[in-house]
Amino acid sequence: MRAEIGPLLRPHRRLIGWAGLAMVGATAVSLGGPYLTKVAIDRGIDRGDIGVVDAVALIYVALVVARPVLERAIVLCSARAGERFLGDLRVAAYDKLHDLSMPFFEQTQAGVLVSRLTNDVQTLTEFTRTVLVQVVGSVLLFVVTLAILIAMSPLLSLVMLVSVPVLVFVSLRYGRRSRPAFTALRDRVADTMATLQEGLTGVRVVQSFGQEEEQYTSYRVRSREQVQAWRRISLVNIGFFPAIAFAQSLALAAVLVAGGYLNRHGRVTVGTVIAFALYLISLFDPIAQLGDWYTELQSGRAALSKIADLLAVPTTVVGGTASLPAEGALAVDGVTFAYPDSAPAVADVSLTIEMGEHLALVGATGAGKSTLAKLLVRAYDPGAGSISFGGIDLREASLAELRARIVFVPQEGHLFSGTLADNVRLARPAAGEHEVREALRAIGALERFESLPQGLATDVRSRGVRLSSGERQLVSLARVALVSPAVIVLDEATSSLDPQTEAAVEQALASLARGRTVITIAHRLSTAERADRVAVMEHGRLVEFASHAELVAQGERYARLWASWQAGVAA
């Protein structure tokens, strides 16, 4: 059992134990029939003792009554344990996703993650409800039946071994071919889900450029690959089941021939031969059923492995225990960072942002300003150097305090289904209605949202489609006001807005900025002009760092950028 799965099973050990006891009882009942037949023949019919036959019949009836009771207990206990385990597993996987760091999400398709929590969990649901119980029961039945056969007649047991070479060859071949086939199937299902999710998320872009046919072709290719994966599994199964039937017939024929010979020489009784033949059928039935269920077994195993792999993903950004001061300078000391298999995106950057200062990060696309911003909010940890707030290294601080002190505001505000008030409250779920209203009032947006037909109870719907881009950005800023952080890192929040909406957002930003440190990824140099200081990035390095006026007077890189910007605005 994977180490990630064990803790999730422990709370359900009692139910699993009861299911196991009921399974042992059901197995004993199932195996009682052939032995009772042997007793009835050898001690009753052969000796003309009808009393023995009657007693055997009564015991057999009792077993027939007991069997459904035990099987019902197995189903109830195992199903309840399985459902509770899967519920815990689903929640654990979802919780793990929220605990993972940004590098994981930037390297993993969202559709693959959706597949983990939908298709894979559904596969496990079907697996635990029926297949797992039947598989465990079949293994138990096989082991106990084999022990009974050996105890009943070692000679006939040796004869039965004539079928072993066939069974070993077929089983090894099946296991070798089926395991990669089922793992490949789970991967193909995840690929199909990823393509579907991306196509639906970007449907507006697809339709805008008339690329429906290309999206259809891409999805059809993934769908066909999934069908091919199922076909390979079917081909693997085709060669397995006829071979099991052949091995069973071979063993039964050998036992009947040998049993007849041994009976004539007085080595075994007729009842023993008949009971042995009945047990032999019981022995091969689990083997055939295991093969029949191997499809679900491997599918369930592959699904469990995928989810366990997700639970095993290490969290790269781990919180410490140190407390952060309420305010302080944000210091970057010799920081270098590189994405996997890439040149450094930030190289040996050092700067100090004083409390209450407004810093603008400026540079061409790919200069490293967005990466530096991610490092400042600790979405990533630097490969070299350190970033501290109030003299405390961010890696030593608790994540809860870090998120309360330093907040990142993306260029486009993301809203969730629910009311407008709930979306503001996302920053601090325990906040009351009054605190939500005060946060909106602080950025000058309370009256705007109260004027909506349902006010703050307005359902913004998925991704906030009922609100404009500017209104969604205002909700994002209200979240910041609700948390009241010491440092705000902005991916310029007004660069894609119309002038009227931009003015409202700029006013909200000005309200938020009072008394706080603000770091802005400046896409327009008018934003840099209003900042206290400007950090100019180029190829991951900090090449200039001073006030706007000082940089223009120096006549270097920033001055050329400013001149080019002014010429563009004037045109």
Q: What is the structure's pLDDT at 547?
A: 92
Q: For residue 410, report the phi and psi dihedrals to the nearest 5 degrees.
A: -70, 170
Residue 391 in this model has a pLDDT that exceeds 70: yes
Q: Which of 277, 312, 347 is the last residue of a domain?
A: 312
Same domain, 375 and 306: no
Q: Which of 312, 342, 375 is the last residue of a domain?
A: 312
Torsion, Cα of 469, 471, 472, 475 (10° steps): 160
Kindly state the average pLDDT of the residues 397-404: 87
Q: What is the pLDDT of the chain when averaged over all its residues?
A: 81
Sheet with 487-491, strands from edge to edge, namely 406-409, 487-491, 517-521, 358-362, 533-538, 541-546
Strand boundaries in 76-125, DSSP class E: none
Q: What is the structure's pLDDT at 2?
A: 56
Same domain, 536 and 492: yes
Q: 75-110, pLDDT tens digit by residue?
A: 888 878 877 887 888 888 888 877 777 777 777 777
Which burial class, exposed, middle or buried, applies to 107 when counting CB atoms under 10 A from its CB (0-12, 13-18, 19+)?
exposed
Model confidence band, residue 375 (pLDDT cutoffs 50, 70, 90): very high
Same domain, 386 and 260: no
Kindly state the average pLDDT of the residues 462-471: 78
Q: What is the structure's pLDDT at 117?
A: 76
Same domain, 128 and 18: yes
SS3 484: coil
Q: What is the structure's pLDDT at 396?
A: 92
Share of the chain above pLDDT 90, in %: 14
Q: 3-46, pLDDT tens digit by residue?
A: 567 777 788 888 888 888 888 888 888 888 888 888 888 787 87
Query: Domain for residue 324, yes or no?
Result: no
Torsion, Cα of 175, 176, 179, 180 (10° steps): -160
More confident residue, 200 or 385: 385
Please measure the distance between the N-terminal and C-terminal CA atoms of the chain and give it in whole angstroms.
68
Strongest mean pLDDT among 205-214, 332-341, 408-417, 455-464: 332-341
**Cα 455 to Cα 415: distance, rounded to the nearest angstrom:** 16
Model confidence band, residue 1 (pLDDT cutoffs 50, 70, 90): very low
- 184 neighbors 227 (Cβ within 8 angstroms): no
Q: What is the structure's pLDDT at 239?
A: 66
Choose among 151, 148, 138, 137: nearest CA to 280: 148
Torsion, Cα of 110, 116, 121, 122 (10° steps): 60
Instruction: Output the six-digit token pair for 436.
Output: 């939500």
Same domain, 354 and 460: yes
Residue 333 in this model has a pLDDT that exceeds 90: yes
128-137, 450-459, 502-511: the lowest-pLDDT one: 128-137
More confident residue, 372 or 277: 372
Query: Domain for residue 140, yes or no?
Result: yes
CATH assignment at residue 511? 3.40.50.300
Query: Domain for residue 486, yes or no?
Result: yes
The dihedral sign for the CA sequence 462, 465, 466, 469: positive
Same domain, 411 and 441: yes
Which burial class, exposed, middle or buried, applies to 525 when counting CB atoms under 10 A from its CB (0-12, 13-18, 19+)?
buried
**Cα 476 to Cα 463: distance, rounded to the nearest angstrom:** 12
Same domain, 301 and 430: no
- How many structural domains does the chain have? 2
Model confidence band, residue 320 (pLDDT cutoffs 50, 70, 90): confident
Q: Which of 281, 312, 343 is the last residue of a domain?
A: 312
The CA distances from residue 169 to 11, 181, 190, 243, 283, in Å, are 40, 19, 33, 10, 18
**Cα 46 to Cα 39: distance, rounded to the nearest angstrom:** 10
Same domain, 335 and 278: no
**Cα 274 to Cα 60: distance, rounded to the nearest angstrom:** 17
Query: Domain for residue 325, yes or no?
Result: no
Q: What is the structure's pLDDT at 223?
A: 85
Q: What is the structure's pLDDT at 126?
A: 67
Same domain, 15 and 163: yes
Query: Domain for residue 547, yes or no?
Result: yes
Query: Domain for residue 1, yes or no?
Result: no
Same domain, 335 and 303: no
Query: Domain for residue 321, yes or no?
Result: no
Q: What is the structure's pLDDT at 60?
A: 82
**Cα 159 to Cα 162: distance, rounded to the nearest angstrom:** 6
- 279 neighbors 304 (Cβ within 8 angstroms): no
Which burial class, exposed, middle or buried, applies to 14 when counting CB atoms under 10 A from its CB (0-12, 13-18, 19+)?
exposed
**Cα 336 to Cα 346: distance, rounded to the nearest angstrom:** 5
Query: Domain for residue 320, yes or no?
Result: no
Q: What is the structure's pLDDT at 77?
A: 85
**Cα 451 to Cα 535: distance, rounded to the nearest angstrom:** 41
Strongest mean pLDDT among 95-109, 399-413, 489-503: 399-413
Q: 220-259, pLDDT tens digit by residue?
A: 888 888 888 888 777 776 767 777 778 877 888 888 888 8
Same domain, 337 and 268: no
Model confidence band, residue 175 (pLDDT cutoffs 50, 70, 90): low
Q: Which domain holds residue 475?
A: 330-570
DSSP state letter for 324: P
Model confidence band, residue 272 (pLDDT cutoffs 50, 70, 90): confident
Q: Collect all residues with Cβ–Cβ distance below 8 Å to 370 and sequence separation of at least 6.
A: 491, 521
Same domain, 368 and 515: yes
Choose among 326, 489, 331, 304: nearest CA to 410: 489
More confident residue, 362 or 56: 362
Kindly state the average pLDDT of the residues 471-488: 87
CATH assignment at residue 54? 1.20.1560.10
More confident residue, 59 or 499: 59
